[in-house]
């Protein structure tokens, strides 16, 4: 088969992923996809969730050679894991399993056998254990990528935090002209290469109203010089804007992307506006990685109350833009 599969890594076993995945597959209908879906998971976990949620469909078990991929069935690579229970909480027990799932996916991507990667949520506390801020940085390290970008994407508006999962007290020291330039350049190229448009980008300041009592604040020292440089490179960017007004309805309709200085500055408003109709895209890897924009939510495990909207949006992204995702950079 010439169509490369989309890899889906299940992530944390004790999460709502399996519930939302089964709901997603039921709603989307595998037969409508041009590219096969390849789930990397444990067969035993999948079986328990089939029983729990009373959702089932055709499965095709294969190995890493990807022989006999089927477009109208769910293709599965089984990674054994026997510690799953709907009554358990997230612990380090699942770390080796999650790592094996990601390693299998990365091997396939490195050999250019797959289109891209969708992953389920993981626990930063137990899986990453302080070594990485998030999966963005974990995948960057495992592919030797230097400048990954975390883009929370919606077709009407996307946001990007310049810094990701770090304490607010450390944000200002991480704001550098060179970092702003690299992140925004990657966003510009993503929109140009994948979405075939020149994005209109807004950037916020760090301080209230983009000012403070110091003569040389971070806006004047780092942000404004970066904006001036990017404008000379024919990138459509404006700012810095005050974060308390940029997300007003009349303002956001003027832009495709808002770049903020820290996580909650832009993700809070984004989730208030779009809820689960947004996805997390990692730009700057050798391949495109997409995931639902939420965590494992272990408290809702097995309750059949979790929304699949964000995972549906993630898989639909590949469905819509698959033809632009064919070329994976060597790593």
**What is the side-by-side order of every strand in the sheet holding 6-9?**
59-61, 74-78, 37-41, 6-9, 116-119, 289-292, 279-283, 149-153, 158-161, 257-260, 201-204, 237-241
Mean pLDDT on 90-103 = 93
CA atoms within a 13 Å half-sphere pointing along the CA-CB vector of 92: 4
* 1 pLDDT above the threshold of 50: no
Share of the chain above pLDDT 70, in %: 95
* 213 pLDDT above the threshold of 60: no
Taking the whole predicted model, whether its pTM rises above 0.85 is answered as yes
Mean pLDDT on 280-306 = 89
The pLDDT assigned to 256 comes to 98
Q: Return the SS3 of 273.
A: helix
Determine whether 73 is exposed, middle or buried from the number of CB atoms within 10 Å of its CB (0-12, 13-18, 19+).
middle
The pLDDT assigned to 153 comes to 94
Share of the chain above pLDDT 90, in %: 64
Domain annotation for the chain: domains and CATH numbers: 1-145+286-331 (3.40.718.10), 148-284 (3.40.718.10)
Per-residue pLDDT band for 208 (boundaries 50, 70, 90) equals confident
Strands 279-283 and 149-153: antiparallel
Q: Write out the H or E segment, with its range, that includes residue 221.
A: none
pLDDT digits (tens, 9 = 90+) for 112-140: 889 889 999 998 889 988 788 888 899 99
Residue 151 β-bridge partners:
281
If you write DSSP's letter for every residue of 123-143 in order, what string do you get? -IIIIITTSSSSHHHHHHHHT
Per-residue pLDDT band for 3 (boundaries 50, 70, 90) equals confident
Q: Of 25, 23, 20, 11, nearest to 84 (Cα)?
A: 11
Average pLDDT of the chain?
90
Per-residue pLDDT band for 214 (boundaries 50, 70, 90) equals low
Per-residue pLDDT band for 254 (boundaries 50, 70, 90) equals very high
């Amino acid at each position: 088969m010439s169509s490369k599969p989309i890899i889906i890594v299940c992530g944390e076993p004790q999460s709502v992923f399996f519930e939302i995945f089964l709901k997603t597959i039921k709603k989307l209908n595998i037969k409508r996809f041009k590219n096969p879906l390849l789930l990397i998971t444990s067969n035993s976990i999948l079986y328990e969730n089939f029983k729990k949620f009373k959702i089932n469909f055709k499965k095709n078990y294969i190995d890493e050679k990807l022989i006999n991929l089927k477009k109208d069935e769910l293709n599965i690579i089984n990674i054994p894991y026997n510690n799953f229970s709907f009554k358990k909480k997230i612990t380090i027990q699942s770390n080796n399993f999650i790592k094996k799932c990601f390693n299998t996916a990365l091997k396939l991507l490195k050999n250019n056998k797959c289109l891209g990667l969708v992953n389920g949520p993981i626990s930063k506390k137990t899986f990453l254990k302080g070594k990485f801020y998030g999966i963005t940085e974990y995948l960057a390290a495992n592919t030797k990528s230097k400048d990954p970008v975390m883009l929370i994407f919606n077709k009407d508006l996307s946001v990007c935090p310049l810094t990701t999962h770090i304490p607010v007290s450390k944000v200002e020291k991480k704001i550098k002209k060179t970092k702003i330039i690299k992140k925004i350049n990657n966003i510009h190229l993503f929109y140009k290469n994948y979405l075939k448009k020149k994005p209109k980008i807004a950037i916020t300041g760090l301080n209230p109203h983009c000012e403070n009592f110091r003569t040389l604040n971070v806006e004047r020292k780092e942000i404004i010089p970066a904006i001036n440089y990017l404008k000379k490179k024919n990138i459509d960017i404006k700012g810095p804007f005050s974060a308390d007004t940029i997300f007003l309805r009349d303002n956001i309709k003027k832009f495709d992307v808002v770049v903020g200085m820290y996580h909650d500055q832009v993700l809070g408003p984004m989730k208030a506006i779009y809820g689960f109709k947004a996805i997390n895209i990692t730009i700057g890897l050798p391949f495109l990685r997409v995931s639902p924009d939420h965590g494992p939510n272990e408290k809702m495990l097995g309750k059949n109350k979790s929304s699949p909207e964000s995972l549906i949006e993630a898989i639909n992204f590949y469905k819509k833009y698959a033809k632009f995702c064919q070329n994976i950079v060597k790593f």
